[in-house]
Structure 1
């Protein structure tokens, strides 16, 4: 008979993962509900099916079905995809376990630790990705990088042009950037407005 230890391990792990790591870092309450619901749902289904001879196959199938459901839902970032699959993995590991063995506990701890380290601001906190809409059509990559660096106040490490509209004078670009330590995130709109005001002041002077 399955003991209560696996569900206690699951609840503890998902609480640390979602309430201890994800929400304090990203503040998206809607995804907290999604992660908790997916984890507990997967645990419940896999725990019921754990005694069957096809438990492993059912677990992998459930993992795949829920992955498809996620892909059809609203868009989330790759970082949040990692938390999503970690919630799934923890639910499967604990749900399919008859008891909390050192191996199961170690694997659950490894999943949580991987997210704690991989999503740490100390490790990659200076790097970010943004989609920026410029009211200029900039075809030259060097000029584009220079303009983005001035607007965002950061080192531009990668640029991918999503749309270049020469008729309407518009550039939409995905920017990968790195900020120096201690420099807060700057809004491109506010930076652009400040630059326009500065330019207007110089013209009046």
Structure 2
């Protein structure tokens, strides 16, 4: 089986891919979140995706095979640890970089431009000065507060005092009148 593209172009595409994913994951994600397992997973998944797509671009690859590949990825996802929303974004960006870099028939200038756009977007959108970090936690109150539905500012203040944080927003997920408990998602900033 012959390579789908000249070896020099393959090396350049892989170079763009690996530099971009290392900047994305270790230059942005890891420096802010320090999760070695996720960083390793995202980079390895990028390299594996790039490798598989380069090989698949040299053979006849039908739509059915594509759906099969996504079904395998879905099963993998169902059996793995849950990612938070930011991790999912970084993981998807790592896959997108591999996809953009491995699609044969695209000019290297376009590939580089799209990759730079992805990196700039991630840098800006996840920068702490652009969007202030808000954390979330699920809590169960052992009594249903009558203000929960009627007086949002008072409830926010009460939750803030209990948790020692500035409550930005809260969302009531469930009331259990039998056990007199309330399940609440609280979004906050540290004071």
Q: TM range, normalised to the smaller chain? A: 0.7 to 0.9
The 5 A counterparts of 1:104-123 are 104-123=111-130
Give 1:17's aligned residue.
Answer: 24
* Alpha-carbon distance in 1 for matches of 2:101, 2:53: 9
Judge conservation of contact 1:138–1:164 (CA < 8 Å) in 2: no
* Alpha-carbon distance in 2 for matches of 1:162, 1:101: 49
TM-superposition CA deviations, 1:58-107 (whole Å, max 9, x none):
66864564355324422111111101101111111112246761100011
Give 2:7's aligned residue.
Answer: 2
* Alpha-carbon distance in 2 for matches of 1:14, 1:54: 26
TM, length-normalised to structure 1: 0.74
Aligned residues: 179
Alignment pair present for 1:171 and 2:182: yes
* Alpha-carbon distance in 2 for matches of 1:66, 1:126: 30
1:176 positional shift: 2.4
Structure 2 runs not aligned, ≥5 long: 1-5
The 5 A counterparts of 1:74-93 are 74-93=81-100
1:163 positional shift: 3.5
Judge conservation of contact 2:45–2:95 (CA < 8 Å) in 1: yes
Judge conservation of contact 1:55–1:96 (CA < 8 Å) in 2: no
TM, length-normalised to structure 2: 0.79
Change (3 A) 1:140 1:72: farther
CA RMSD across the alignment: 2.7
1:144 positional shift: 3.2
